[in-house]
Amino acid sequence: MMGRTQKTDQTIYIVDDEPAVRDALAVVFEMEGFTVVGFETGDAFLEAAKNHQPACVFLDVHMPGRSGLDILKALNADHYPAPIFIISGQGDIPMAVTAIKYGAFDFIEKPFDAGQIVDRVREALAAQARRAAGEAHPNGVAADFPGRELLTPREIEVLGQITAGASNKEAGRHLGISPRTIEVHRARIMEKLGARNAADLVRIVLTGEHG
């Protein structure tokens, strides 16, 4: 189905210390044909992640013991193959932005909209399939440019979308993440590369020169 059938199944891991949240998400995804495994602590999830790669992960920001941010660091989330969605309340958006910097794929805000969550997961899995097939990198990103080594693999994907002229909405649709998360990546890329604006960013990538 997605090339690596041994590793990309339809299991979703939900890491949240609140049983009500785990149960609610389990109902939503099991109705859509997914298998759901819940974890009350980040440590239990990390232990399971050593032996099995799920289709995707939902990870709460606030948990007793290790926080969601701690788990992202321990997992080296930038290089984890399955998309990790951070669960956050509206007041947690700054923390969710930090989670993106630590390698979270995207974030889902409470209260949940069941239909939207399923759509977001399906979009994320479709993007992962394109990535596995080598289709996620559009033409136009130079193999080498000043600061390339500072960017994460996902930031390079977002940069490819930007240099191809995609809007935040278009880039988000292609990569399976929200436009707001694209904005987070865009700001971080510009900061890392020292770009003043989008045009400057494209110039750096295509010519290796600042304006």
With beta carbons less than 8 A apart as the criterion, state whether 43 and 85 touch: no
Residues 116 and 174 reside in one and the same domain: no
Domain annotation covers residue 137: no
As a residue count, the chain comes to: 211
pLDDT band at 2 (very low <50, low <70, confident <90, very high): very low
Residues 198 and 107 reside in one and the same domain: no
Residues 154 and 120 reside in one and the same domain: no
The CATH number given to whatever domain includes residue 171 is 1.10.10.10
User: Which of 132, 165, 185 finishes a domain?
Assistant: 132
Residues 112 and 190 reside in one and the same domain: no
pLDDT band at 17 (very low <50, low <70, confident <90, very high): very high
User: What is the rounded distance in angstroms from the CA atom of residue 135 to the CA atom of residue 54?
Assistant: 22
Per-residue pLDDT, 27:
95
Query: What range does the domain containing 154 cover?
Result: 148-207
Q: For 51, which DSSP code?
A: T
The pTM (predicted TM-score) of the whole model is: 0.78
Per-residue pLDDT, 73:
93
pLDDT band at 138 (very low <50, low <70, confident <90, very high): very low
Q: How many domains does the chain have?
A: 2
With beta carbons less than 8 A apart as the criterion, state whether 199 and 128 touch: no
pLDDT band at 46 (very low <50, low <70, confident <90, very high): very high
